[in-house]
Amino acid sequence: MEKIPYKIYLSENEIPKQWYNVRADMKNKPAPLLNPGTLKPMTLEELSGVFCTELAKQELDDTTPYIDIPEEIRDFYKMYRPSPLVRAYCLEKELGTPAKIYYKFEGNNTSGSHKLNSAIAQAYYAKKQGLKGVTTETGAGQWGTALSMACAYLGLDCKVFMVKCSYEQKPFRREVMRTYGADVTPSPSATTEVGRKILAEHPDTTGSLGCAISEAVEVAVKSDGYRYVLGSVLSQVLLHQSVIGLEAKTALDKYGVKPDVVIGCAGGGSNLGGLISPFIGEKLRGEADYEFIAVEPASCPSLTRGRYAYDFCDTGMVCPLAKMYTLGSSFIPSANHAGGLRYHGMSSVLSQLYDDGLITARSVEQTAVFEAAEKFARIEGILPAPESSHAIRVAIDEALKCKETGEEKTILFGLTGTGYFDMVAYQKFNDGEMSDYIPTDEDLKPGFEAMPKVNL
Amino acid sequence: MEKIPYKIYLSENEIPKQWYNVRADMKNKPAPLLNPGTLKPMTLEELSGVFCTELAKQELDDTTPYIDIPEEIRDFYKMYRPSPLVRAYCLEKELGTPAKIYYKFEGNNTSGSHKLNSAIAQAYYAKKQGLKGVTTETGAGQWGTALSMACAYLGLDCKVFMVKCSYEQKPFRREVMRTYGADVTPSPSATTEVGRKILAEHPDTTGSLGCAISEAVEVAVKSDGYRYVLGSVLSQVLLHQSVIGLEAKTALDKYGVKPDVVIGCAGGGSNLGGLISPFIGEKLRGEADYEFIAVEPASCPSLTRGRYAYDFCDTGMVCPLAKMYTLGSSFIPSANHAGGLRYHGMSSVLSQLYDDGLITARSVEQTAVFEAAEKFARIEGILPAPESSHAIRVAIDEALKCKETGEEKTILFGLTGTGYFDMVAYQKFNDGEMSDYIPTDEDLKPGFEAMPKVNL
């Protein structure tokens, strides 16, 4: 067997021609979105008021295993894909581990993350439907940047509600979005009804994804020719993100490599869901077995400490209800939480897989995450996003376990993006001012209590 | 002929195994560095007091055409090279030009630019010589980041003097360097003799590369086990940067493509010199002809308005004298100058080639540069560094000329890096607050008058 290079680049022709829809292979399908008024499953017509029609169809489709990627989207993918699958030779050597470590690096594009994979898809369908523009929320700013880029490319208007604390911590993210022609508003804002309501109740709030979603949905529904788009959580997003896993698997297959463990950070689940998709597909079909680890922040532990229940997707409670592992839509991570991964719930697909015992989850504290990030940056030469560094932390931990046991496990993790716009957080870490905070059971109680009483 | 992909990636084995030393093929060699005291050419011994011995040798070697790249450096290159050669299909379409546009993209690494190519080489030789660390200056911050990364990888100490206005405009650059373990000081500083002298004379100065070089050299010379390293201007740097051009040529050759015009931004000349090296080699040997365009800011026009003369390389006049196109070591670009490319002089190699009429030069104003940058970002999906955008501007201008004339020219330009840490400048542009300033002949006079009187 030929020596595996540091970076495996597929050719342009090997960019997937179809997305893989994991739901088609799930025996226990993810629970449907519910209309918050009637508590009945959302129909295509209802969903189409909020989402582009084609995306609403994808959201409801849990039977078609492969969905063609339109040529125009593939052309856009060619500008930054295939993304490299990297063999972490330097990290392995530094750790002295017999484990073989690979990472799929999605940060080699200006949005700085994997989010662009779904942004271009969603913008494309909006354009095709003849819309004027789209609205969205963004937390750490990666999704907003990705959507701005996709909209600039297609000539669509783009309105972004950015969680206020991120807006303040990351002024330059806003400028990138503006350079791509987007309109960026810190959330909660006085520009929407729901924003004004939240501000009246919590004048000092630094915002949350849940608030920003409510504002973006309100603007989409009230504006002519606009729809709302979302960067994570939804099943359609996991569908688009399957390109990550499909490319990773094609690259590994070329060298006859099969991962034992697949690790991804998990906020809403877009990266993890995309990365594991072809592998979990094989597991669901009984063709192969893998261990999957979702890594989440100890300060926002939806899988490890949340409840599996129907919940509101947003703070303003204007969205459909989703069944997911959740901390409650009123949950906001403590102010010392530095990275992304701050959504209160988790993708319905991943929640169901987790509930079925097909994937595992682990929570990590942020100082340990930044230690891993800094080590990785110095050894592998890439300054990682705090989000991605959750996966790095657990990949290193697993590799160190192998050092103890002597196991030669093959570890694959998702390096979702770069941390170039997260230097305020790195500065805190460099100055020794970063702390950990694990919410107490008391802290979690209000979120659980505020959940809707529809859990049948 | 197979359709040319959006991105041509060479394989790891195609990373050059030797650097190309263009001086070996120059009939008129670049003038030697002079000892500022004796006005005689610097000897290896003299140079070795400032630079690592191996690098001093490379600096003096104008006869060896190919120099082996040590295995350890090639291993580091494998972490981020080969860099992609991109066919700008989207930009061509948007411009409606018959020209074919290619760019060699050097920004896919955490330093955000091509500077890493020389940083790892210089750090490697310092390590091999058993030094404790290196000192340097940085302007826009790309070189300092690159050197910090290389030093972190090799376990070397790294002291960076950062031009004060960049230090203030780019606080996050400093944090990246700190994350890589570097010590960063705004220049001029009170930590050096030359810094204190400059501050006494110009208490309000926002600094210049010339000042920062003087400080870094002083610290290197006065500290045990340290040497000074420099990210541009020097012939050794152009040697290391030849990997850019060598890879670009290999990629183009694969598809039988020969560029008509090669365009690069030029500050000290490291990128342009590296990009054109194998092409100008062919031109020097009479094997092929190409047009070369050096693009510089109208606010710091060393080639287009400077003098070809021996000059000080630094403000403190502690460095050897170099013969180059220069605006004088006291020249500081006007405060409204937003990007890098602010050095008063130009690589001796490029200066000689320019003086011999083998390359041409053009200056552009910064609002036109940022217009090109924004257009490029929206169409090609990469937010470019202001420096790189000088080359984009002229590439677009050349492509538009082809649209008028109907010529199907092949244009190759260097996209040296990304602008993720330049959002203060983009913000100015987005807010319509960016202006142009072309120095008057009066403005240039003091720089010329302060040049040393050694021009024989």
Q: Within a 13 Å sphere around the CA of B280, how many CA atoms are in the beta-carbon half?
A: 33
Q: Taking CB atoms and an 8 Å cutoff, what residues of chain A touch B430?
A: 175, 178-179
Confidence of residue B455 (pLDDT cuts 50, 70, 90): low
Mean pLDDT score of chain A, rounded to an integer?
A: 95
Nearest by CB: B110 against A11, A374, A382 = A382
Euclidean distance between CA atoms B185 and B204, whole angstroms: 17
Q: Taking CB atoms and an 8 Å cutoff, what residues of chain A touch B379?
A: 153
Kind of pairing between the strands at A18-20 and A7-8: unpaired
Compute the average pLDDT of residues B79-107: 97
Kind of pairing between the strands at A261-265 and A157-163: unpaired
Q: What is the pLDDT of residue A1?
A: 56
**Is the predicted pLDDT of residue B376 greater than 60, yes or no?**
yes
Return the minimum-mean-pLDDT range out of A193-202, A296-305, B128-137, B328-337.
B328-337
Confidence of residue B111 (pLDDT cuts 50, 70, 90): very high
**Is the predicted pLDDT of residue A216 greater than 60, yes or no?**
yes
Euclidean distance between CA atoms A254 and A243, whole angstroms: 17
Q: In angstroms, what separates the C-alpha of B93 from chain A's closest C-alpha?
A: 12
Check A78 against B6: CB less than 8 A apart: yes
Total beta-carbon pairs less than 8 A apart between chain A and chain B: 116
**Is the predicted pLDDT of residue A47 greater than 70, yes or no?**
yes
Locate the chain A residue with the closest alpha carbon to B110: A382
Q: In angstroms, what separates the C-alpha of A4 from chain B's closest C-alpha?
A: 10
Read off the pLDDT of residues A35-45 as tens digits, 9 standing for 90 and up: 999 999 999 99
Return the minimum-mean-pLDDT range out of A77-86, A336-345, B272-281, B379-388.
A336-345
Compute the average pLDDT of residues A157-162: 98
Check B109 against A382: CB less than 8 A apart: yes
Q: Which of A18, A300, A1, A61 is nearest to A163 (CA)?
A: A300
Check B7 against A420: CB less than 8 A apart: no
Q: What is the pLDDT of residue A227?
A: 97
Beginning with the edge strand found earlier in the chain, give each strand of the sheet holding B157-163 in spatial order.
Answer: B183-187, B157-163, B133-138, B226-228
Q: Within a 13 Å sphere around the CA of A30, how many CA atoms are in the beta-carbon half?
A: 32
Compute the average pLDDT of residues B112-120: 97
SS3 of residue B256 by DSSP: coil
Return the minimum-mean-pLDDT range out of A194-203, A272-281, B227-236, B446-455.
B446-455
Read off the pLDDT of residues A345-397 as tens digits, 9 standing for 90 and up: 999 999 999 999 999 999 999 999 999 999 999 999 999 999 999 999 999 99
Check B149 against A381: CB less than 8 A apart: yes
Copy the structure tokens of residue A227: 């729809």
Strand ranges for B114-271 from DSSP E: 133-138, 157-163, 183-187, 226-228, 261-265
**Is the predicted pLDDT of residue B245 greater than 70, yes or no?**
yes
Read off the pLDDT of residues B268-318 as tens digits, 9 standing for 90 and up: 999 999 999 999 999 999 999 999 999 999 999 999 999 999 999 988 888
Contacts of B456 (CB under 8 A, 6+ apart): none
Euclidean distance between CA atoms B383 and B389, whole angstroms: 9
Confidence of residue B456 (pLDDT cuts 50, 70, 90): low
User: Could you give the domains of chain B?
Assistant: 7-14+80-112+242-449 (3.40.50.1100), 48-68+114-235 (3.40.50.1100)
Read off the pLDDT of residues B18-46 as tens digits, 9 standing for 90 and up: 999 999 999 999 999 999 999 999 999 99
Euclidean distance between CA atoms A64 and A21, whole angstroms: 7
Q: What is the pLDDT of residue A376?
A: 98
**Is the predicted pLDDT of residue B260 greater than 90, yes or no?**
yes
Q: What is the pLDDT of residue B45?
A: 97
**Is the predicted pLDDT of residue B1 greater than 70, yes or no?**
no
Find out whether A272 and A282 touch, Cβ atoms under 8 Å: no
Read off the pLDDT of residues B129-181 as tens digits, 9 standing for 90 and up: 999 999 999 988 999 999 999 999 999 999 999 999 889 878 899 999 999 99
**For the whole model, what pTM was predicted?**
0.96
CA distances from B171 to A294, B208, B231, B416 (A): 34, 17, 20, 21
Q: Taking CB atoms and an 8 Å cutoff, what residues of chain B touch A427?
A: 175, 178
Check A381 against B423: CB less than 8 A apart: no
Confidence of residue B209 (pLDDT cuts 50, 70, 90): confident
B353-362 burial: b if 16+ Cβ within 10 Å, else e? bbbeebbebb
**Is the predicted pLDDT of residue A456 greater than 60, yes or no?**
no
Compute the average pLDDT of residues A87-112: 97
Compute the average pLDDT of residues B217-224: 95
Q: Taking CB atoms and an 8 Å cutoff, what residues of chain B touch A152?
A: 377-378
Check A179 against B430: CB less than 8 A apart: yes
Q: Which of B199, B210, B164 is nearest to B326 (CA)?
A: B210
Read off the pLDDT of residues A229-239 as tens digits, 9 standing for 90 and up: 999 999 999 99
Euclidean distance between CA atoms A266 and A42, whole angstroms: 26
Compute the average pLDDT of residues B222-234: 95
Confidence of residue A169 (pLDDT cuts 50, 70, 90): confident
Nearest by CB: A172 against B108, B152, B423 = B423
Q: Taking CB atoms and an 8 Å cutoff, what residues of chain A touch B374?
A: 179
**Is the predicted pLDDT of residue A178 greater than 80, yes or no?**
yes
Find out whether A305 and A444 touch, Cβ atoms under 8 Å: yes
Nearest by CB: A175 against B6, B176, B426 = B426
Which residues partner with A136 through β-bridges? A160
Helices (H) and strands (E) in chain B, counts: 18, 15
Mean pLDDT score of chain B, rounded to an integer?
A: 95
Q: What is the pLDDT of residue B208?
A: 85
